[in-house]
Structure 1
Amino acid sequence: MQRLKSRPQFQAVLAGSILARTPHFVLHRAPLHASRAEPAQTLFAVDDVWLGAMVPKRWARRAVTRNTIKRQVYTVSQEFESSLAHAAHVVRLRSGFDRQHFVSATSDALKAAVRGELQQLFARAAPAPEPLAGGRS
C-alpha cells in the first residue's frame, strides 16, 4: 500500500467519487488511470492501492488526537488492503467526536470508537462477494 503525500494527489482523489460514509468519516476514491490518463499517471506512478488520511484541525483540535486518528486509519486500512481496488483513496474526518464522551485526547475509548467506525467504513467500501457459480443442478 502506498501513501498519498502531495497536495495534488489529495486534490485529485477528493475530486473523485465518494465510496462510503459513516457518521464521522467519508471514503473518497479516484481511479489511477483516468480516461485522460496523463496527469493521473504522473501523480500515481505505481499501480497499487494508494491511501491518505485527512483529519482537519476543525474537527480534532489537538495534534495528538489528529495523529491518533491517522494511525488508526492506516492500521485498519491494512486489514482491508486486499479488498480495496487498485486506486487512490482518502479517508476524511467529516465531523468531530464529542469531547463530553471522549475527554482524553488519546483515550482507549476514542481509539476503539474510531477503529470500529473505520472498520464499518472499509467494510462498506469492499465489493460484494461474488455468488458461487453452478449452485443449482
Structure 2
Amino acid sequence: MIGRIVRSADFERVLGTPSRVRSSHFAVHHVVAEPSLPARRLSTADAELSTAAAPAAHTPVDEKPVEGCWLGTVVPKRHARRAVTRNLFKRQIRAIFENGAPSLPPGLWVVRLRAPFDRKQFVSASSDALRTAARAELAQLVGRVAKRQGGQASQVGNSAPNSAAPA
C-alpha cells in the first residue's frame, strides 16, 4: 500500500528535483526520503524542566533506511478545468502507482499533470476514452521508472566485478 503526501513542505522538496521521467502530459518526480513529521508543539503542561536528565540520543536520520512509498498528485486547474476531470486523473494516478508499487524504489513520489489533454478529442470530462488514455500514459511512465531502476541495478552489479578484476 502506498501512503499519501499531505504536507506542502514534502511537495516542495520533491518538486524541487528534476523529473525522473515525463510524457506529453505527465511528469514524475522522486526523492529517496520519508515524509516530514509535523512540528511538535509543547504546552506548558507537557514541557519538562531544564534540570531534567538529558534526553535519550536518537539514531541519526542519515543512517535510517527509507521504507515505503508515498505518493502525491498535482493536477492544476489550468490543465483540467473541471473537478470531475481532476478527480479522474488523481484516481488513475493512485491506481497505477498502487499496482506498480512493488517495482518502485522507496521514497516520496509526485506525479504532476504538466499539459492539458485536448478538449476537442476528449469532449466529456469523465469519458472512457480519457480514462483509457490517461491510464495508458501513466502505465507507460511507471514502466519506464521500473525499467530504469532495473537497468541501474544491473549496471551497478556488472561494474563491480569488472572493477575488482586484476588489470
Q: Hey, which bits of structure 1, 4+ residues long, moved more than 4 A?
A: none
Separation of aligned partners in 2, 1:121 and 1:4: 20
Contact 1:17 1:30 in 2 (8 A): no
Q: TM-score, normalised by structure 1?
A: 0.83
**Cα distance in 1 for residues equivalent to 2:117 and 2:69:** 28
Find the residue that maps to 2:31 and give its secondary structure: strand
Task: Give 1 or 2: higher strand fraction.
Answer: 1
Task: Report deviation, 1:27.
Answer: 0.2
* Mapped partners of 1:17, 1:101: distance in 2: 30
C-alpha distance after superposition, 1:26-55 (max 9, x if no partner): 00011206xxxxxx6537xx7311111110
Q: Which amino acid aligns with 1:79?
A: N
Q: 1:60 to 1:41 in 2, by over 3 A?
A: closer
Offset at residue 9 of structure 1 (A): 1.3
Which residue number in structure 1 is paired with residue 136 of structure 2? 116
SS of the aligned residue for 2:122 comes to coil
Q: Which amino acid aligns with 1:100?
A: K
Unaligned 5+ segments in structure 2 are 39-65, 159-167
> Percent of aligned positions with the same letter in both sequences?
43
Aligned Cα RMSD in Å?
Answer: 2.1
Q: TM-score, normalised by structure 2?
A: 0.69
Query: Quick check: 1:15–1:30 contact (8 Å CA) kept in 2?
Result: no
SS at match of 2:19: strand
Describe the SS at the equivalent of 2:150: coil
Tell me which of 66, 77, 83 is aligned to 2:97: 77
Q: Which has the larger displacement, 24-33 or 63-72?
A: 24-33
5+ residue gaps, structure 1, are 34-39
